[in-house]
Structure 1
Amino acid sequence: MEAAQTVQRSTQQSVEKGRSQHRIPRDVETDIAYLYEVLPQLSRIFRIIDKIGEGTFSSVYLAEAQMTDGSRRMFALKHLIPTSHPVRIAAELQCLTVAGGKENVMGVTYCFRKEHHVVIVMPYMEHQTFVDIVGSLSFEDVRHYIFHLLKALRHIHKFGIIHRDIKPTNFLFNRQKREYALVDFGLAQGTPDTLIELLKVVKSKAHKGGGSSKMVEESLGKQKLVPLPPNTRNTALQSSTKAPAKRPCPASLVKHSKGLLSKPKREELIPRKIVSSKHRSVPVRAPLNQRQKAPIESQKPKPPAVNPSLTCNCYMTDRVCNICMSRKQQVAPRAGTPGFRAPEVLTKCPNQGTAIDMWSAGVILLSLLSGRYPFFKASDDLIALTQIMTIRGSRETIEAAKTFGKSIVCSRELPRLDLKILCETLRGLRSWDDGLLPAEFQASHNPAEGKQDAVKKHASSLKSSAELQEMGWDKVPDDVYDLLDKLLDLNPASRITASMALQHPLFKDVTD
C-alpha cells in the first residue's frame, strides 16, 4: 500500500513539474500519469514533457533525462499498446537494434518492459512537418531528401527488412541541419532471406493468434535499463519517433483539402473487379446496384454450393458470379498507409518484397516534384488503383498486373501521363492552357477552372516565376523524372532497387 502511494506521489510530482514548464492539455497529462503508473521506473529517469504522436499501435512522448556527465538530453519514448502482438513488438525492437543507428535509420537507446507494457527509448531529433514544407523546398532540397531516403532503404533492404509503411511522417527531416531518420518498424516484414530472426516467425505467430512470452522476455528483458554501447547509438542523427497524431477522417472530408486526386464517382473509371489468372475471379467489391445490407448473422444465407473446379462465367464482365462469391478470398499483406500502397499490395498479390518500399518512395518523390501532398487520397483499394491508373495508364496497369498473376477489368481506357508535364503543370511551371494533359484531368484539377476548395487553395499557394527560379525549379534535369518513372514502375519485378537508384545519374555529384 505504501509503495503504491509512493508511486502515485512520484507520478503526480513529475506531471506537476512538467506542467509548470510546458503547458499541456489535460488529457495528455492523464496519459502521462498513466504511463508513469504502469512503468514506475520511468519517473526515476525521465521527465515526460508532452505527447508528440499517436497512432493505431503506439503513442510517442517527448521526455528529458539527465546524463551521467550532468548534461540533459531529449528522448522520444514510444509506448506500444498492450494489445500489440508480443512477437511483433520484439521484431520491431530487433529491427532497431540490428539495422538501426546508421545510414539514416533510427537507432534505439533503451527499452523498458513491465508485464505487457513496453516502452522503446530513442534519441529525439528536432524536425519539420512535411506538409508544412513540401511547397517551400528547393529542387536541391528535394534531391538530397530523396537521396537520403534511398540510402535508408538500401540499408534496411540489405538486412531483408521490408518496412511496409514508407511515408514522409516516417522519414524525419531536419531541413536546417540536413539530418534524416527512418522510423517506425511496427509493420515491418522480412524477405525470405531476412537477417532479422524474429521477422521470420512474426507472420506465422500473428496468424495463430498466440505469442511466445518467453521469446519476448529474451528479446526485451535483457535490455531493461541497459544503454547500448556508445558506438551503436545514432548520435549523428539524434533521431526520434515523432509523428503527427492520427485521427479518424470524417466522411465529409474524403475530398482531402490538400490531396491531388479526390474521390471520383464510383461509376466513373472504376475497375469493376480484380481477378487472378486462369479465369478464376477474386471479387473485391460488388457493384453498387448489387450491394445489400448484410442480414443478421444467424439469418445470413449461405452461398449456393458450386463445383470449385468450374471456370467462372463473369470473367471480363462487370459483375461477380456465384462461383467467385463462393471461393475463399486470397489472403495477402495489406499493411501500409493509403495513398502509398503499391499496385501489388492493392491487388492482393501474395508475393510482396522490398519493391513495395520503392513504390512508396516514388509517391513521395511525386509529391516533392509536384508540390502536392498527399498526392493520392483514396477511401479503398479500388479507388486507389483507379487513381494510379489516371497517372500511369489503365492499359499499362492491366499489363503489369498480369506479370504477378492478376487481371484487372476497367470500364474505360485511361492514357498514361507524361510525368514531367504533370509535375511542371501542377507546380505552376507550365500553363494548363497548353492542353498537354487530358481534358478529364484538367476539369478536375485545373486551378483556373476547378470549383473545389482544395484546388483553389493550391492555386493561391503557387509560387511566382521569380520564386520558382530562385528555388531552382526552372532548371530541373530530366534525370529526376527518369528516376521517378523507374520508382513508379507498375511491375515490381522490374522496379528499380534502392542500390540501383543511388547509382542514378541524378545523384552523380551528391555527397553525404
Structure 2
Amino acid sequence: MATAVPARRRRVESFRTEVQFFRIHEDAPSTEDTEMNESALQDDDDAELDGELVDDEGQESECSESSEEEVPDDSHFQQDMENLQDCFAGFRQKYRLIKRIGEGTFSTVYKAEDLLYDSYDNSWDLDKETEKWTPPPLKSFSGQSSATLDYQSQSQRRRKPKYVAIKKIYVTSSPSRILNELELLHDLRGCRSVCPLITAFRWTDQVIAILPYFRHADFREYFRNMTRPDMAIYLRSLFTALASVHSHNILHRDIKPTNFLYDPGSRRGVLVDFGLAEREGYDCKPCICHDDPVTRKRKLRPLISDKEKEGYPREDTRHSRRANRAGTRGFRAPEVLFKCTEQSTKIDIWSVGVILLTILSKRFPFFNSADDIEAMIEIATIFGRQRMQAAALLHGCMLQTTIPTIGRSGFSFEGIVLWSTDRNETKDKLPEDERLAVEFLSRCMELDPSRRISAEEALEHPFLRMGLDESVEEASDAGDDDEMDMLKV
C-alpha cells in the first residue's frame, strides 16, 4: 500500500504536466455530466463520472481525489483538442477547452469555458435569472488586515465560470447537412426547451458550432425511480420543445433520451442535436396515407390478391421506393419502417411514446432490434398481425408473416406494463394515475400517424397537467423567505 500511492501520484503529476503543456484546463465533472450523444456512453466514462465530487461553484471539491482509473491514458483526444485550438485564429482567447463530452457519427462535442462571456449578449443563458441571488457580503472585523479584506472582496466579485459546448462537425459531413443544421438552429432561437445556437465558425473545411452547456443526469440513472408526476414533468418539458419545433414545420427525426438533456434536480430539460432534422415536406413524394379512404382502397386493389402466397416472387415487378430512414433503431415510427415518402412531425411523437413506454416498463432499451425487419416484428408482437397489416396498407405495403409469436390481436399496453414490472395481469390493476399514463401512451403510439396525438394536444392532456396546478399554487403561496430555497431545488 505504501508503494502504490506514490506511483499513482507520480502518474497524476505527469498528466497534470502534460495538460499544462497543451494549455487545456481539466475540469472535474459532476455526476450529472453525461454524454450528449448515445455513442459516447461508454463504461470507462461512467466510471470516471461516478468517482468525483463537485461543489456549488463548479470547482473540484476538497473531498475529491483522483484515482488511477480517472486519468485519461489516450492522447488522441488531447491532440484533437490541440488541433482544434490551432485551426481557428483567436480560439484560445475566446474559449478554453476542458474535455470531450460526446462523439457521434458526424461530430464530436467538447466542453469549454467561455472566456469572453461578459462581452456578448447572453440571452441564451437560462441560468442568468437564478444567478442574481448572490451570497451576502462577508462581515469585516477590525482585526483583519487590508490585504485580507481586499482578497475577500475579489473573491466575492469572482464570477462563476460559464461553460459552452463546442460541436466540431466532421469534414466528411455533407455541406448541405451542416448548413441545414445551422439554419434550423437559427430559426429555432428563442424557443422554449430547445438548445439555441450561440454562434458558429468556419475555417476552410472545418466548421464548429457553439452551443450552451447544460448540466443533466444520465437517463439510465433516474428513469426507473420516476413517479407519475415526475413522468408528467419530464414529458411536459419535452413536448414543450416539440411544440415549438413542430410549429416551425421542422421534424427532429432523432428523439431519444440522450438527445433530451434533463436535470431531475431543477426539473428542466433541453432538446439537442438537430443533425438529422429537416423541414416538413422537404424532398418528399406524395404517399397514399394522405389520400381519402376511397382513393386509397382503389390504389391498393392491385396489391391485394384473393389468395395469399408464401415466399418471394421470382421476378419482383414492384417499383423501388426511396424514403428518409434517419433516426435511431428502436425509436423509428412505423411509417418510417414502411418507407412512407411523405412523413410528418408525428414521427417525433411516436419516439416520445417509446420513451414513455420505457419509463413505465422500467426496461431500457425497450425495443432492441438490429434492423428494420426486426423492428417491424417487435411492433407487430405488441399490436398484433391484423393492426400491423392495416398499418402497412396505409402506406401501400403488404405485410405477411408466419412467426408464431405474433398473434392476431397482440397485447394491451396495460398488460405489457403489468408484465414488465412483475405484476399479475389477472390479479393486479394499475392505479388511476398510471392508467392515465397508459392511456396517454396509447395516444402517442398510434400506428396511424393521422390519429396520433400532436405536441400541442399532448400539452393539454390530463396526464401532462398532473401536478401542474398544485405546483403553481405552491409557487404563488411561497413567501420571500422561501424564494432562496426554491432556487436551490
Q: What range describes the TM-score normalised by the shorter chain of this pair?
A: 0.5 to 0.7
Deviations 1:170-206 (A, max 9, x none): 01101101111001111111113xxxxxxx57x89xx
What's the offset of the Cα at 1:385? Answer: 0.5
Deviations 1:62-98 (A, max 9, x none): 1112223773211101111112111211111111111
Which residue identity lines up with residue 44 of structure 1 in the other structure?
Q
Deviations 1:258-280 (A, max 9, x none): xxxxxxxxxxxxxxxxxx94555
2:179 corresponding residue in structure 1: 90
What's the offset of the Cα at 1:14? Answer: 7.0
2:412 corresponding residue in structure 1: 418
CA contact (8 A) 2:97 2:111 kept: yes
Report the Cα distance in structure 2 between the residues aligned to 1:318 and 1:134, rounded to whole angstroms.
Answer: 43
**Aligned counterpart for 2:443 among listed residues 486, 492, 512:** 486
Q: SS at 2:82's partner residue?
A: helix
2:241 corresponding residue in structure 1: 152
What's the offset of the Cα at 1:483? Answer: 1.0
1:190 corresponding residue in structure 2: 279
Deviations 1:342-376 (A, max 9, x none): 11111111111111111101101100111111100
1:42 corresponding residue in structure 2: 91
Which residue identity lines up with residue 489 of structure 1 in the other structure?
E
User: Structure 1 182/315 Cα, relative in aligned 2: closer, same or farther at 3 Å?
Assistant: farther
What's the offset of the Cα at 1:337? Answer: 0.2
Q: Which is worse superposed, 502-511 or 16-25?
A: 16-25
Q: Does 2:167 align with 1:176? A: no
Q: Does 2:308 align with 1:319? A: no
What's the offset of the Cα at 1:488? Answer: 0.5
1:368 corresponding residue in structure 2: 359
What are the ranges of 5 or more consecutive residues in structure 1 without an aligned counterpart? 1-10, 193-199, 205-275, 282-312, 437-472
Q: SS at 1:407's partner residue?
A: coil
CA contact (8 A) 2:232 2:465 kept: no
Report the Cα distance in structure 2 between the residues aligned to 1:408 and 1:497, rounded to whole angstroms.
Answer: 27
Q: What does residue range 297-316 of structure 1 map to in structure 2 within 5 Å?
A: 316=308
CA contact (8 A) 1:314 1:320 kept: no
Q: What does residue range 201-350 of structure 1 map to in structure 2 within 5 Å?
A: 277-279=300-302, 316-324=308-316, 327-350=318-341
Which residue identity lines up with residue 423 of structure 1 in the other structure?
V
User: Structure 1 315/125 Cα, relative in aligned 2: closer, same or farther at 3 Å?
Assistant: farther
1:68 corresponding residue in structure 2: 118
Q: Does 2:50 align with 1:56? A: no
Per the normalisation by structure 1, the TM-score is: 0.64
User: Structure 1 490/75 Cα, relative in aligned 2: closer, same or farther at 3 Å?
Assistant: same
User: Structure 1 19/361 Cα, relative in aligned 2: closer, same or farther at 3 Å?
Assistant: closer
Report the Cα distance in structure 2 between the residues aligned to 1:20 and 1:498, rounded to whole angstroms.
Answer: 38
Q: What does residue range 104-123 of structure 1 map to in structure 2 within 5 Å?
A: 104-123=193-212
What's the offset of the Cα at 1:321? Answer: 1.5
Which residue identity lines up with residue 106 of structure 2 in the other structure?
F
What's the offset of the Cα at 1:332? Answer: 0.7
Report the Cα distance in structure 1 between the residues aligned to 2:19 and 2:435, rounded to whole angstroms.
Answer: 59
**Aligned counterpart for 1:18 among listed residues 19, 25, 29:** 25
CA contact (8 A) 1:367 1:374 kept: yes
1:353 corresponding residue in structure 2: 344
Report the Cα distance in structure 2 between the residues aligned to 1:132 and 1:74, rounded to whole angstroms.
Answer: 24
Report the Cα distance in structure 2 between the residues aligned to 1:416 and 1:100, rounded to whole angstroms.
Answer: 43
What's the offset of the Cα at 1:315? Answer: 8.2
Which residue identity lines up with residue 433 of structure 2 in the other structure?
V
Q: SS at 1:62's partner residue?
A: strand
Report the Cα distance in structure 2 between the residues aligned to 1:316 and 1:40, rounded to whole angstroms.
Answer: 67
Q: SS at 2:398's partner residue?
A: strand
CA contact (8 A) 1:279 1:315 kept: no
What's the offset of the Cα at 1:16? Answer: 4.0
Which residue identity lines up with residue 417 of structure 1 in the other structure?
F
2:370 corresponding residue in structure 1: 379
**Alignment coverage as a number of residue pairs:** 354
What are the ranges of 5 or more consecutive residues in structure 2 without an aligned counterpart? 1-17, 30-70, 120-157, 286-298, 473-489
Report the Cα distance in structure 2 between the residues aligned to 1:381 and 1:102, rounded to whole angstroms.
Answer: 33
What's the offset of the Cα at 1:510? Answer: 4.6
User: Structure 1 352/21 Cα, relative in aligned 2: closer, same or farther at 3 Å?
Assistant: closer
Q: Does 2:76 align with 1:31? A: no
Which residue identity lines up with residue 22 of structure 2 in the other structure?
V
**Aligned counterpart for 1:392 among listed residues 350, 370, 383:** 383
Report the Cα distance in structure 1 between the residues aligned to 2:350 and 2:333, rounded to whole angstroms.
Answer: 6
Deviations 1:82-127 (A, max 9, x none): 1211121111111111113432111011211111111111111110
CA contact (8 A) 2:24 2:97 kept: no
Which residue identity lines up with residue 61 of structure 1 in the other structure?
Y
Q: SS at 1:402's partner residue?
A: helix
Report the Cα distance in structure 2 between the residues aligned to 1:87 and 1:492, rounded to whole angstroms.
Answer: 29
Report the Cα distance in structure 2 between the residues aligned to 1:504 and 1:98, rounded to whole angstroms.
Answer: 28
Report the Cα distance in structure 2 between the residues aligned to 1:106 and 1:417, rounded to whole angstroms.
Answer: 37
Deviations 1:43-79 (A, max 9, x none): 2211111110011111100111222377321110111
Report the Cα distance in structure 2 between the residues aligned to 1:89 and 1:399, rounded to whole angstroms.
Answer: 38
- Higher RCO (CA-CA < 8 Å; seq separation 6+): 1
> What RMSD in Å do the two structures reach over aligned CA positions?
2.9
Report the Cα distance in structure 1 between the residues aligned to 2:341 and 2:209, rounded to whole angstroms.
Answer: 31
Q: SS at 1:68's partner residue?
A: helix
2:144 corresponding residue in structure 1: none
CA contact (8 A) 1:401 1:491 kept: no
CA contact (8 A) 1:359 1:489 kept: yes
What's the offset of the Cα at 1:314? Answer: 12
User: Structure 1 12/508 Cα, relative in aligned 2: closer, same or farther at 3 Å?
Assistant: closer
Deviations 1:133-186 (A, max 9, x none): 221222221111111111111110000001100000001101101111001111
